[in-house]
Amino acid sequence: MIKAIFTRQKDGQLSSVILTGHAGSGKHGFDIVCASVSTLAINFVNSLEVLANCQAAVNLNEVEGGYMAISIPPHDNKEKVQLLFESFLLGMTNLAENSSKFVQTKVI
């Protein structure tokens, strides 16, 4: 199962997310749930850079996979960054609702 743990600060701002695990919904290379999570996460990081001029800190386990941490540094463009972060959370939440056997989303 893939677990996505989002961190929301006391002021309501999302600041980081950690993705762990493997979906296991299909054979390696053919797992559409894993591909969906990967696409949402990579699109989020790319959108931050291109649309909000924000370079997120990204930490990956490139050998075994199953781990991606994304954190947002203090940034001048908070509204765009938060809109993109909320969009990523929405996409992950919808995926978790439709694939609850393979994805879990939590906000702390």
- Interstrand relation of 2-8 and 103-107 (parallel, antiparallel or unpaired): parallel
| CB atoms closer than 10 angstroms to residue 61 | 11
Whole-number average pLDDT of the chain? 96
Quick: pLDDT tens for 4-31: 999 999 999 999 999 999 999 999 889 9
What is the value of pTM for the model shown? 0.95
Place of tokens 């996979």: 65
Contact 75, 28 (CB under 8 A): no
Q: Residue 52 and residue 76: Cα distance in Å, rounded?
A: 9
pLDDT, residue 98, reads 97
Average pLDDT over residues 88-97: 98
Q: Which residues pair with 94 in a beta bridge?
A: none
Quick: pLDDT tens for 54-74: 999 999 998 888 999 999 998
